[in-house]
């Protein structure tokens, strides 16, 4: 949320009456309920809050979970039982929704009859955004959810709905303070020495106050849930689900299972209502990703957290879209966005646990130059198989292998296996052939997403929530960067990560993707390897050692026979190129009278090669030398890294491989020598060695 922002630094606070250090124990004869406060505030051990968090963190979290024991969980059956017996309440809300959405649908119908449906898409999308805002929290969340679904909405609607930023009116402060006291079981003056008299940020589900813990003086952010929010969204989801049944049964144009979509969305919103769950999300996120020095994740104060109150470390920072404020601190927006992209890629493709709502209010630039992540209510996970499939999908896109791209949609769970992908291939080719005319550094991610969205919208895709959220996350980050640099491209910033993963990850799927990238039509594409190394070295976690060992293991493994055959052919070519290149260098550096004496003064020099053949050989040799230079000049390169390679080559498989290479080189050189001696003219070749 936008709560923890330097903008709030000037907010006035009022002091609460002084009180002694406190603790709560169970009174005699009294049983503590699930929401009873089990706060044990006060220093322990060395007296520092950090020591308290470490020594009693697990116990404090368990107590917070107890306070949230009766937090609501989404259940369609319970909602049906509850609101099915309240027909008047349901009818009034239904009428309100129908009037708002019905008028919008009528406008769409008029546009369709007048032939202005496409021309008015942007206008209608803006109107829909306003309707969702007026209808309240459920529909604000619904609009945000739809903004990540290119299979359901055209691009114009995706853009407008993405602007929904939970901008809702605040609720009374007295209600918020009463909620804090009820949830934590203590008078507010016993909890905080000061608290802002009004919220410093408001969202669809709650609002945030800035406070100071009484026992430690620590500045914290206190998020309080909006009163009656469970009742409001419960009724709305009951009604929306009824509409889903109608759409599934009678609207053939929508191929997605609308009920499943609604249930998935409702479960996510209900999870956001449990602030203890959000705190646990933050803890997990911090454990996975805050190991990088440029990432900040606030700590959770479990003794001051319950199902409806979340207390976390206050973060001084500026929203990532406030460029002037960021630059006034001597920071660069692009550096922070690049940090966000790298962290997002780790989230999406390494651990698979990622922040699903990275809008500008949830990303802050701290004065120290760190990128702070906030608001962990909406998280998502990338399935393990899909992580590798996404990287492979990028490889297929770069190679313009549209048939393989289409088949990837099975692995990504976009399509059921009984769907024929052949009609989709031409649509992919039509769009990506134009898009890929640019270099990676020129590709605009949003353009790719919009184009892919049009394809998804036209065919029977069912985009999993995780993938739609991935697209949204990277699109948001690129949008933030474009404020600072209109030429920024998120794909160019993320490509080093993909290159590093391809070169270093031992995952079998990625190893196959690397082989597919490097070998084509039985020939090794050295230029692709050189490009990968140039880009991969830009990633700070690149390791030359990791780039060598997995390939060798695959090469000499039991399933590597096909790769060994390809490698032997290429090794012969490379070895021959190095030998012949050295001979050519020696020949060219010799005095002219020596050259005329060599091999009877053959006009093609000592090698009996055409000019084109010789140029291709020299280029191959130089390219191999450049690649070796890239590896050897890597920051963590050590010649000792080659020792495992020598050990591998001493194994029976390695000796056999080496023998076949030597035999092939010997045959090639012998053929060239015989050709020279017999003065058989060479036939120029159009392809390189």
Would 338 be classed as within a structural domain? no
Indicate which residues carry an active-site annotation.
357
Would 635 be classed as within a structural domain? yes
Q: Residue 275 and residue 377: Cα distance in Å, rounded?
A: 7
- What pLDDT, on the 0 to 100 scale, is given for residue 612? 76
Please write the tens of the pLDDT for every residue from 390-401: 887 877 887 788
Predicted TM-score (pTM) of this structure:
0.71
Would 430 be classed as within a structural domain? yes
- Both 310 and 238 in one domain: the answer is no
- Both 498 and 428 in one domain: the answer is yes
Average pLDDT, the chain: 76
Would 356 be classed as within a structural domain? no
Of 287-291, 567-571, 638-642, 662-666, where does the model show the most confidence?
Answer: 287-291
pLDDT band at 91 (very low <50, low <70, confident <90, very high): very high
Of 25-39, 222-236, 649-663, where does the model show the most confidence?
Answer: 222-236
- What pLDDT, on the 0 to 100 scale, is given for residue 26? 36
- Both 647 and 590 in one domain: the answer is yes
- Both 577 and 472 in one domain: the answer is no
Q: Does 17 score more than 80 pLDDT? A: no
DSSP 196: -
Please write the tens of the pLDDT for every residue from 69-82: 888 889 999 999 99
Q: Which residues contact 684 (CB under 8 A, 6 or more apart)?
A: 610, 611, 612, 613
Would 609 be classed as within a structural domain? yes
259: its two tokens:
């009920």
Stretch among 145-154, 218-227, 301-310 having the lowest mean pLDDT: 145-154
- Both 561 and 647 in one domain: the answer is yes
- What pLDDT, on the 0 to 100 scale, is given for residue 440? 52
- What pLDDT, on the 0 to 100 scale, is given for residue 273? 92
- What pLDDT, on the 0 to 100 scale, is given for residue 148? 60
- What pLDDT, on the 0 to 100 scale, is given for residue 126? 93
- Both 395 and 436 in one domain: the answer is yes
The more confidently predicted of residues 210 and 678 is 210
- Both 145 and 177 in one domain: the answer is no
Of 30-44, 46-60, 535-549, where does the model show the most confidence?
Answer: 535-549
How many structural domains is the chain composed of?
Answer: 4
With the C-alpha atoms ordered 299, 302, 303, 307, is the resulting torsion angle positive or negative?
Answer: positive
Say which CATH number the domain at 291 has.
3.30.200
Q: Which of 61, 43, 60, 62 is nearest to 52 (CA)?
A: 43
Last residue of a domain, one of 271, 302, 325: 271
- What pLDDT, on the 0 to 100 scale, is given for residue 39? 36
Which structural domain range is residue 141 located in? Answer: 72-166+231-271
Please write the tens of the pLDDT for every residue from 111-140: 999 999 989 999 999 999 999 988 988 888
Please write the tens of the pLDDT for every residue from 230-282: 888 999 999 999 989 888 888 776 666 788 878 887 888 888 899 999 999 99
The more confidently predicted of residues 200 and 268 is 200
- What pLDDT, on the 0 to 100 scale, is given for residue 95? 95
**Burial of 60 per CB tally in 10 Å (0-12, 13-18, 19+):** buried
Would 39 be classed as within a structural domain? no
Give CB contacts under 8 A, 24+ apart, made by 154-157: 154/121, 154/453, 154/454, 154/457, 155/450, 155/453, 155/454, 156/121, 156/122, 156/125, 157/121, 157/125, 157/128
Q: Residue 631 and residue 639: Cα distance in Å, rounded?
A: 10
- Both 118 and 240 in one domain: the answer is yes
- Both 574 and 428 in one domain: the answer is no
The structure tokens 């060239």 sit at 672
Would 526 be classed as within a structural domain? no
Q: Does 330 score more than 70 pLDDT? A: yes
Of 535-544, 594-603, 675-684, where does the model show the most confidence?
Answer: 535-544
Q: Does 672 score more than 80 pLDDT? A: no
Contact 372/314 with Cβ under 8 angstroms?
Answer: no
pLDDT band at 41 (very low <50, low <70, confident <90, very high): very low
Q: Residue 308 and residue 41: Cα distance in Å, rounded?
A: 19
Q: Residue 533 and residue 400: Cα distance in Å, rounded?
A: 21
Of 27-41, 162-176, 405-419, 620-634, where does the model show the most confidence?
Answer: 405-419
The more confidently predicted of residues 409 and 545 is 409
- Both 659 and 586 in one domain: the answer is yes
- Both 556 and 474 in one domain: the answer is no
- Both 96 and 242 in one domain: the answer is yes
pLDDT band at 88 (very low <50, low <70, confident <90, very high): very high
- State the average pLDDT over residues 192-201: 94
Q: Does 305 score more than 90 pLDDT? A: yes
- State the average pLDDT over residues 508-519: 78
Would 201 be classed as within a structural domain? yes
């Amino acid at each position: 949320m936008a709560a923890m922002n330097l903008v709030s630094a000037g907010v006035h606070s009022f002091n609460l009456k002084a009180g002694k250090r406190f603790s709560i124990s169970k009174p005699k004869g009294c049983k503590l309920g699930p929401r009873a406060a089990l706060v044990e505030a006060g220093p322990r051990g060395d007296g520092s809050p950090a020591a308290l968090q470490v020594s009693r963190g697990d116990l404090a979290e368990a107590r917070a979970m107890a306070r949230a024991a009766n937090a609501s969980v989404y259940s369609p059956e319970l909602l049906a039982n509850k609101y099915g017996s309240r027909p008047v309440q349901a009818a009034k809300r239904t009428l309100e929704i129908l009037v708002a959405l019905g008028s919008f649908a009528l406008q769409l119908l008029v546009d369709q009859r007048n032939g202005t449906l496409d021309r008015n898409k942007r206008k209608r999308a803006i109107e829909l955004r306003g309707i969702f805002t007026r209808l309240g929290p459920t529909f604000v969340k619904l609009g945000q959810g739809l903004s990540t679904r290119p299979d359901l909405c055209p691009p114009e609607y995706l853009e407008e709905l993405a602007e929904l930023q939970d901008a809702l009116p605040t609720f009374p402060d007295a209600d918020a303070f009463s909620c804090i006291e009820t949830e934590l079981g203590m008078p507010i003056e016993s909890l905080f020495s000061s608290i802002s008299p009004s919220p410093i940020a408001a969202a669809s589900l709650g609002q945030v106050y800035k406070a100071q813990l009484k026992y430690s003086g620590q500045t914290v952010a206190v998020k309080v849930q909006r009163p009656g929010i469970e009742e409001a969204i419960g009724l709305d989801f009951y009604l929306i689900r009824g509409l889903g049944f109608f759409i599934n049964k009678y609207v053939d144009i929508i191929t997605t299972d609308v009920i499943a979509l609604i249930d998935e969305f409702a479960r996510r919103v209900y999870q956001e209502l449990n602030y203890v769950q959000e705190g646990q999300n933050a803890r997990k996120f911090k454990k996975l990703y805050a190991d990088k020095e440029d990432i900040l994740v606030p700590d959770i104060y479990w003794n001051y957290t319950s199902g409806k109150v979340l207390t976390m470390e206050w973060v001084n920072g500026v929203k990532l879209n406030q460029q002037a404020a960021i630059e006034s601190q001597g920071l660069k927006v692009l550096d922070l966005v690049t940090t966000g992209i790298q962290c997002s890629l780790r989230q999406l493709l390494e651990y698979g646990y990622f922040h699903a709502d990275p809008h500008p209010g949830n990303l802050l630039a701290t004065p120290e130059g760190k990128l702070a992540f906030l608001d962990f209510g909406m998280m998502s996970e990338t399935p393990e198989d899909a992580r590798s499939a996404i990287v492979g999908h990028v490889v297929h896109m770069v190679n313009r292998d549209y048939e393989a791209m289409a088949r990837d949609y099975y692995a990504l769970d976009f399509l059921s296996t009984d769907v024929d992908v052949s009609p989709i291939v031409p649509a992919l080719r039509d769009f990506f052939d134009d898009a890929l005319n640019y270099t990676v550094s020129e590709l605009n991610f949003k353009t790719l997403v919009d184009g892919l969205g049009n394809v998804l919208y036209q065919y029977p895709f069912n985009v999993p929530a995780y993938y739609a959220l991935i697209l949204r996350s990277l699109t948001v980050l690129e949008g933030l960067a474009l404020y600072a640099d209109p030429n920024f491209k998120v794909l160019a910033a993320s490509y080093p990560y993909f290159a590093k993963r391809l070169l270093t990850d031992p995952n079998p799927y990625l190893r196959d993707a690397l082989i597919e990238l490097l070998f084509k039509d039985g020939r090794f594409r050295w230029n692709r390897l050189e490009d990968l190394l140039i880009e991969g070295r830009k990633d700070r976690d690149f390791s030359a050692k990791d780039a060598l060992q997995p390939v060798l293991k695959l090469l000499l493994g039991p399933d590597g026979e096909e790769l060994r055959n390809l490698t032997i052919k290429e090794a012969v070519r490379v070895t021959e190129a190095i030998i012949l290149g050295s001979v050519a260098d020696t020949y060219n550096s010799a005095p002219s009278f020596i050259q005329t004496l060599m091999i009877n003064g053959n006009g093609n020099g000592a090698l009996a090669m055409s000019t084109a053949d010789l140029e291709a050989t020299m280029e191959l040799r130089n390219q191999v030398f450049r690649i070796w230079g890239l590896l050897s000049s890597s920051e963590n390169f050590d010649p000792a890294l080659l020792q495992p390679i020598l050990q591998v080559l001493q194994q029976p498989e390695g000796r056999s491989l080496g023998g076949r290479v030597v035999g092939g080189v010997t045959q090639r050189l012998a053929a060239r020598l015989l050709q020279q001696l017999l003065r058989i003219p060479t036939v120029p070749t159009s392809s390189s060695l």
